[in-house]
Amino acid sequence: MSILTEFSLKNHNTFGIDQKATAFVVVDNIAALKNSLQHPDYPEKFILGGGSNLLLTQPLNALCIHINLKGIAVVEETEEEVIVEAQAGENWHAFVCWTLEKGYGGLENLSLIPGNVGTAPIQNIGAYGVELKDVFDSCTALHRTTLTLQEFTKKEAEFGYRSSYFKTKGKDKFVICAVRFRLTKRNHRLATSYGAIKSALGNTPPSPQSIAKAVIAIRQSKLPDPAVLGNSGSFFKNPVLTKDDFNRLQKEYPALPHYPQTDGTIKVPAGWLIDTLGFKGKRQGDAGVHEHQALVLVNHGNAQGKEILALAQEIQAAVNTTFGIALEAEVNIL
């Protein structure tokens, strides 16, 4: 196990922010992970996956443990379904492609999301009508202090909109090591209701593969590729309003898009609110708002985390003043 000190995390966060960690170690097996978690020289430990949901605004005063557990395997199979287990360090999109090549359905709408398998359940990643919870079977996580491995069922993972047990009550207590997904081998449950998917498909019959192709095309047209332009996907969560609050707002802004939730609340797109305030494409130094999606903040080159945070705070203040809505960051700000 080799520990690097004063290690720049620039290549380990999709915003491309140049901040150093006191120490950095890559772990590719559970024993090494347990050893790192017990390392006596560094009382603070930070678990890093793909770094795709992270804004570094200061040096990381901790031992940064980069999870590089690898492996994909079918662990259960019937004629209809398959349970596939992926280790936490597998790249998310590469894993989605693996399942599609095998002909398994379920992950197609979640194509091209940056990040790794192990961090996907923490914020219950979602796109184009599907959330990770819809295909999640269970996961194995290591308790950070007792060092015991624990299984979590879907119920125990307490998934919510961009949220889970691992982001709330269990925050910073576990390291997710492996995730199992329940996928279909036939009679796929295809989610094509999202308008953009319908139009991208055109006359092509929907299948896991054609939907993945459509999702990839939509994402590439709207969302910046972190390898080209640093970003962390949606910076804020879409706010969820009470019916009364929504009705008041809709009177003033009849064009406001909205998505009624099963519990009677109404989700509105933060991207629309930010766009309406004229922030799309705005730039302050190297910190900017993406030109095609106002919910995505970008690093045009050498932005500091603090500069991106300042822009985010300016957006939050403006949205609050005009719409009376407190936008909540989706990205983990350190």
Tell me the catalytic residues: 162, 234, 330
Cβ count near 151 (within 10 Å): 11
Question: By CB under 6 A, what part of segment 215-244 binds ligand EPU?
Answer: 222, 233-234, 237-238
Tell me, residue by residue from 277 to 306, as one string, x for binding to ligand EPU by CB under 6 A and - for no binding. Answer: ---x------------xxx-----------
- Is 38 in contact with 147 (CB distance < 8 Å)? yes
Question: By CB under 6 A, what part of segment 14-33 binds ligand EPU?
Answer: none
Q: Supply 253's token pair.
A: 């802004």
Nearer of residues 59 and 278 to ligand EPU, judged by Cβ: 278
How far is it, in rounded angstroms, from Cα 67 to Cα 89? 5
How far is it, in rounded angstroms, from Cα 9 to Cα 60? 9
Nearer of residues 45 and 280 to ligand EPU, judged by Cβ: 280
Q: What is the 3-state secondary structure (H, E, C) of 122-152?
A: CCCCEECCEEHHHCEEEEEEEECCCCCEEEE
Q: From the list 103, 206, 269, 285, which residue makes contact with ligand EPU (rule: CB under 6 A)?
A: 269
- Is 266 in contact with 259 (CB distance < 8 Å)? yes
How far is it, in rounded angstroms, from Cα 77 to Cα 280? 47
Question: By CB under 6 A, what part of segment 114-153 binds ligand EPU?
Answer: 127-128
Tell me, residue by residue from 35 to 74, as one string, x for binding to ligand EPU by CB under 6 A and - for no binding. Answer: ----------------------------------------
Q: Supply 193's token pair.
A: 């209701």
Nearer of residues 103 and 269 to ligand EPU, judged by Cβ: 269
Q: From the list 271, 287, 303, 327, which residue makes contact with ligand EPU (rule: CB under 6 A)?
A: 271
- Examine residue 257 and tell whether it contacts ligand EPU (CB under 6 A): yes
Q: Which of 298, 328, 329, 316 is nearest to 17 (CA)?
A: 298
Shortest reach from residue 227's CB to ligand EPU, in Å = 16
Residues that bind ligand EPU (CB under 6 A): 127-128, 222, 233-234, 237-238, 257, 269, 271-272, 275, 280, 293-295, 330
